[in-house]
Structure 1
């Protein structure tokens, strides 16, 4: 995020940063880290994990329903968004 000022100006966005050592300010990120830890425990050497296995984990995470998404998966929500944009 070293270019956050440029990004904010170009897109007309406000950029906020969480305080250090305040995981409650990063709920979505911390939740996703928890999901990832099911497959890759903390401290796992990623250089020892095959690309195909990482791709499988990625697919499982993207297909996993989330309460915050109305029990849809991130993949379903993304597909819905793409469909709505292409129909306009």
Structure 2
């Protein structure tokens, strides 16, 4: 749980008093549910962040490989592009 969350939770607990929402049991339930929700959001953020970094790495790797192929065989790349364009043109007619 981050510092903003703990500050807001403590201020919420102070403003609710000792009875909570509808009694003392609900206060702990709300706190537990809020903590679990924040933990789930944190895990999701970490997963998305690491997946995004992986994708950027793959993009860089495959982009470099494509540049190397174009430099090594420029005529083959142009011929391949022509064939792909020709096939797409025939398919869309």
Structures share fold, TM-score greater than 0.5: no
TM normalised by structure 2 equals 0.29
Tell which structure's C-alpha radius of gyration is larger. Answer: 2
Length-normalised TM-score, structure 1: 0.30
Q: Which protein, 1 or 2, shows the higher relative CO under an 8 Å CA cutoff with sep ≥ 6? A: 2
Higher helix share: 2
